[in-house]
């Protein structure tokens, strides 16, 4: 066995959770959320993940409990990190915020297509997350994934 084969590690896994109504992206209020579909976002995330040495799994649910169950399971199944766009639940769900806290130290990054702070939305879930990326449209997901990849790679040596 070569040294490279001995030291090669399997790709880290990242879970992407999309909350309520995000399945309607591309058709839902395009003036606010753009015309990119959720399927296109998921394809772009998988492709970017592959370039970054990550395996990206995507899941959408309109149900708070499914999102919570998925998040809790990720903490136990070897998932390296989570991108979470909880949709409107991000502003109202104490249960989802508690689930984010319950999976620590698993890094969870909140993602939003729009700048929710500019619309005076509270950040209940975001306050529990490691970081938040919002306001870049569909690109918010890619920015968040690249940042999460850096976190998962660990600290760099040197300047």
Q: Which residues are catalytic?
A: 33, 112
- CB neighbours (10 Å) of residue 71? 22
Is 115:139 a contact under the CB 8 Å cutoff? no
Strand partners, 17: 59, 84
CA pair distance 89, 147, nearest whole angstrom: 23
For residue 2 the two structure tokens come to: 């070569």
């Amino acid at each position: 066995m070569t040294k490279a084969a001995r030291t090669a590690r399997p790709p880290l896994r990242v879970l992407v959770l999309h909350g309520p109504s995000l399945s309607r992206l591309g058709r839902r209020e395009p003036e606010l959320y753009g015309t990119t579909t959720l399927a296109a976002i998921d394809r772009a995330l998988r492709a970017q993940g592959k370039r970054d040495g990550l395996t990206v799994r995507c899941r959408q649910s309109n149900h708070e409990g499914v999102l919570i169950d998925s998040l809790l399971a990720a903490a136990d199944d070897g998932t390296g990190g989570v991108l979470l766009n909880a949709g409107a639940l991000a502003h109202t769900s104490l249960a989802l915020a508690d689930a984010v806290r319950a999976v620590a130290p698993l890094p969870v990054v909140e993602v939003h297509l729009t700048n929710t702070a500019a619309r005076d939305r509270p950040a209940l879930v975001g306050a529990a997350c490691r970081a938040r990326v919002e306001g870049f449209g569909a690109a918010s997901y890619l920015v968040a994934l690249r940042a999460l990849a850096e976190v998962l790679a660990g600290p760099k040596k040197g300047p």
